[in-house]
Structure 1
Amino acid sequence: MYPFQYTKAKEASEATATASRQENSKFLAGGTNLVDLIRRDVVHPDYLIDVSHLDFKTIKAYNGGLRLGAMASNSETAANKELKEAYPIVSQAILLGASAQLRNKASNGGNMLQKTRCPYFMSPPFPCNKREPGSGCSAINGENRLLSILGTSEKCIASYPSDMATALTAMDAVIQTRLSDGSERSIPVVDFHLLPEDTPWKETVLKEGELITAIDLPEESKEFAENSYYLKIRDRHSFAFALVSVAAALVMESGKITKARLVLGSVAPKPWRNREAEEMLLGQAPSENLFMEVAEKALEGAKGFGENDFKIPLAKKGIVRALRIASKSEA
């Protein structure tokens, strides 16, 4: 393990100032991903800034919606009564992620910053543009079963693994941050993660020293509570990352769909939302044929790289099933 310096920030302003001043620094909250990457020699921060104790742990009503503190654990967030009633799809997604032990430790803010589990990113001996810019992408012609079929580039086909972020995208959640100059910023989750293009090592829109403080769920998204479902398809039932996940959320009136959200997880470098596919559902009564057409649109442009070719038909079937359950039309 490479040596690093450690400090425990007394307040957010100290944390962000230190992070902007110290090169190659990282914030440490739950550490369930970061510590693992350090131990495996995947990342080598020179400076760790402990923010786990900062006062961003509260889950509370906010502007008619719900504010999730960035330092609150995934477990306490999933168990929150207001979340389960108003935004059940988010609670479902969290509970399907990792194990109970990891959820007890993992923070909400850290969940947004999860790294890909691409086997080449996780294995330092192999070239990886995300880990070492300019070294190449071993996955394109290698072991890519778990990797992306949408939003890829010639530089990277890694997939983003967070279940929570996929559900939050469907709920139009907004990430709140604090910058090193003391200012604050609101970032829609849908815009938070970047596609690889020519710079796969740039994964989010966060600036140097910027700290996630909260995640806001808007009041308007409460209307999806009755007809929403998070489907996670994986190799084994527990403690496995998704092959494909689907966050489906609908508003139904008089037997027809009046509003729709459809987001795919683990098929792209970020939660994948196709608004054209969502619009196809509007004004329509739920049906198998409709859902199949929507699935085709949602996977438009998908490309497999050999081992992950199966993800394309799997994602389509997952969309149909998730929409069936969300619309309560499954037999």
Structure 2
Amino acid sequence: MKPFTYLRADDAATAVELAAGAGGRYLAGGTNLVDLMRQGVEAPGVLVDVRSLARGIDVEPDGTLLLGAGVTNSAVAGHPRVRAEFPLISRAILNGATGQIRNMATVGGNLLQRPRCLYFYDTAARCNRREAGAGCDAVDGGTHNHAVLGHSPHCVATHPSDLCVALAALDARIHLHGPGGERVVALTDLHRLPGDEPSRETILEPYELITAVSVPPAPWARHCVYRKVRERASYAFALVSVAAALDIDDGVVRRSRVALGGVAAKPWRSYEAERVLDGQPAGPALFLAAARTALADAVPLPDNAYKIPLATRSIVAALTQLAGADEEAR
């Protein structure tokens, strides 16, 4: 690991000032960044420690959940109000990593994880995310775990976060503080598809800091499921994951949410599948139609065509589980 300067900030404004003044990077739990530094993939000269900032979990009077960016994943997953009112978040986190990692990893850091592409981690390989314009060895290499939606000839990596998939389904918003002041963006807008600029992974401006995540109240979203398919039962990244919620009234889907992980460079919210579901009688034919719609634009790579039927069946299974739970509740 190359030497670096370590700084600590007491508030968001100071953190931004320190990072912008020194060309630094933000450090919270370090479960991703420090690994990348050890492997020589990243080598920031200055780290600004923001772990002590924004560590609260609050539910506002209108029912909005507010998660400080510095709160740990374990604290979020185990919080009674999160488990009771936003169970999709808790379930996604518990599916996402080992207990040791959850104890260190933060909400803000989880959102900004770098891709888990083997070629990105291999400094001897060409990678447009690691070095703009270098090329992408993954495109003609092993693509077993890579994207089927939204990829480009310049990058085929997937986003690794489980939490982001749940937040995409729940219409979460990201609160930012940067040199230009504060702003709020939708979680679904935070991450960019690779296009011809894979090195730009998010819409964050230079030195912008995530300070919080807010999730609007959604009592109907308590009827939810997080389904993750991985290569082994222990800690592993998703081949495909599904965050789904259904509000069914008298056998008809009043509203739905469908988001996918493991299939694109960002959490993939399928508004198209939701439009197929909403207002229609719940049942196997509808669920299959919605799942096929969600994958209609998928383009497989040489080694990952299996992901399309896998994702299709995972969506159907998640929706079927929800519909069955609704029947049992009645």
TM-score by length of 1: 0.96
Name 1:277's counterpart in structure 2. Answer: 273
Amino acid at match of 1:61: V
Task: Give 1:21 deviation, angstroms.
Answer: 2.2
Cα separation, 2, equivalents of 1:69 and 1:328: 35
Please, what is the CA RMSD of the aligned residues? 1.3
After TM superposition, list the pairs within 5 Å mapping 1:203-214 onto structure 2. 203-214=201-212
Contact 1:244 1:314 in 2 (8 A): yes
Task: Give 1:65 deviation, angstroms.
Answer: 1.3
Cα separation, 1, equivalents of 2:300 and 2:78: 37
Q: How many residues were matched structurally?
A: 326
SS of corresponding position for 1:121: helix
Name 2:42's counterpart in structure 1. Answer: 43
Name 1:29's counterpart in structure 2. Answer: 28
Amino acid at match of 1:105: M
Amino acid at match of 2:87: P
Higher mean C-alpha deviation, range 269-278 or range 68-77: 269-278
Name 1:81's counterpart in structure 2. Answer: 80
Task: Give 1:8 deviation, angstroms.
Answer: 1.0
Task: Give 1:327 deviation, angstroms.
Answer: 2.2
Task: Give 1:85 deviation, angstroms.
Answer: 1.0
Cα separation, 2, equivalents of 1:222 and 1:196: 35
Contact 1:232 1:244 in 2 (8 A): yes
2:252 is equivalent to residue 256 of structure 1: yes
Task: Give 1:176 deviation, angstroms.
Answer: 0.8
Cα separation, 2, equivalents of 1:65 and 1:251: 19
Contact 1:18 1:209 in 2 (8 A): no
Cα separation, 1, equivalents of 2:18 and 2:179: 8
Name 1:168's counterpart in structure 2. Answer: 167
Deviation sequence 1:45-79 (CA, Å, 0-9, x none): 1110001112x011011242110111000001000
Task: Give 1:290 deviation, angstroms.
Answer: 1.2
Q: 1:201 aligns with which of 196, 199, 202?
A: 199
2:182 is equivalent to residue 184 of structure 1: yes
Deviation sequence 1:232-251 (CA, Å, 0-9, x none): 00011121000000011111
Cα separation, 2, equivalents of 1:40 and 1:224: 40
Name 1:156's counterpart in structure 2. Answer: 155
Task: Give 1:180 deviation, angstroms.
Answer: 2.3
Name 1:132's counterpart in structure 2. Answer: 131
Task: Give 1:10 deviation, angstroms.
Answer: 2.4
Contact 1:119 1:143 in 2 (8 A): no
TM-score by length of 2: 0.96
SS of corresponding position for 1:327: helix
Q: 1:223 aligns with which of 220, 242, 262?
A: 220
SS of corresponding position for 2:121: coil
Name 1:305's counterpart in structure 2. Answer: 301
Cα separation, 2, equivalents of 1:326 and 1:138: 40
Deviation sequence 1:104-132 (CA, Å, 0-9, x none): 00000100001111000010000000001
Name 1:68's counterpart in structure 2. Answer: 67
Task: Give 1:271 deviation, angstroms.
Answer: 0.7
SS of corresponding position for 1:328: helix
Contact 1:19 1:208 in 2 (8 A): no
After TM superposition, list the pairs within 5 Å mapping 1:276-295 onto structure 2. 276-295=272-291
Amino acid at match of 1:92: R
Cα separation, 2, equivalents of 1:194 and 1:124: 23
Amino acid at match of 1:160: H
Deviation sequence 1:286-325 (CA, Å, 0-9, x none): 2111111111110011111111111111000111001111
Cα separation, 2, equivalents of 1:41 and 1:324: 45
Name 2:239's counterpart in structure 1. Answer: 243
Name 2:92's counterpart in structure 1. Answer: 93
Name 1:114's counterpart in structure 2. Answer: 113
Deviation sequence 1:130-154 (CA, Å, 0-9, x none): 0011111111110111110000011
Q: Which runs of 5+ in 1 are unaligned?
A: none
SS of corresponding position for 1:131: coil
Contact 1:144 1:306 in 2 (8 A): yes
Amino acid at match of 1:194: R
Amino acid at match of 1:218: P
Deviation sequence 1:15-59 (CA, Å, 0-9, x none): 101222222x210000000000100111111110001112x0110
Cα separation, 2, equivalents of 1:10 and 1:93: 30
2:317 is equivalent to residue 321 of structure 1: yes
Contact 1:141 1:305 in 2 (8 A): no
Identity %: 44
Name 2:8's counterpart in structure 1. Answer: 8
Cα separation, 1, equivalents of 2:160 and 2:313: 20
